[in-house]
Amino acid sequence: MKYTGSCHCKAVQFEVESGEQVEVEDCNCSVCSKFGFLHLIVPKQHFRLISGEQVLTEYRFNSGVAKHTFCKVCGAKPFYIPRSNPDGVDVNVRCLDTKPANITIVPFDGQNWEDNAAKLAHKSKLN
- Cβ-count burial of 90 within 10 angstroms (0-12 exposed, 13-18 middle, 19+ buried)? buried
- What is the Cα–Cα distance from 20 to 76, expressed in whole angstroms? 25
What is the H or E stretch that residue 68 is in?
strand 67-71
User: pLDDT at position 127, please?
Assistant: 59
Closest Cα partner for 11 from 57, 72, 99, 69? 72
Q: Chunked in runs of 10, what are the mean pLDDT values of the chain (127 residues)?
A: 97 94 91 90 96 94 83 95 90 95 92 85 76
| Torsion 103-39-49-18 (CA) sign | negative
Residue 1 Cα to chain centre, angstroms:
17
| CATH C-level class of 2-120 | mainly beta
What is the pTM assigned to this prediction?
A: 0.88
Could you tell me if 83 and 65 are in contact, meaning their C-beta atoms sit under 8 angstroms apart? Answer: yes
Start-to-end C-alpha separation, the chain: 14
- Cβ-count burial of 39 within 10 angstroms (0-12 exposed, 13-18 middle, 19+ buried)? buried
Write out pLDDT tens, residues 104-124.
999 998 899 889 888 888 788
Domain boundaries, the chain: 2-120
User: pLDDT at position 114, please?
Assistant: 83
User: pLDDT at position 30, please?
Assistant: 86
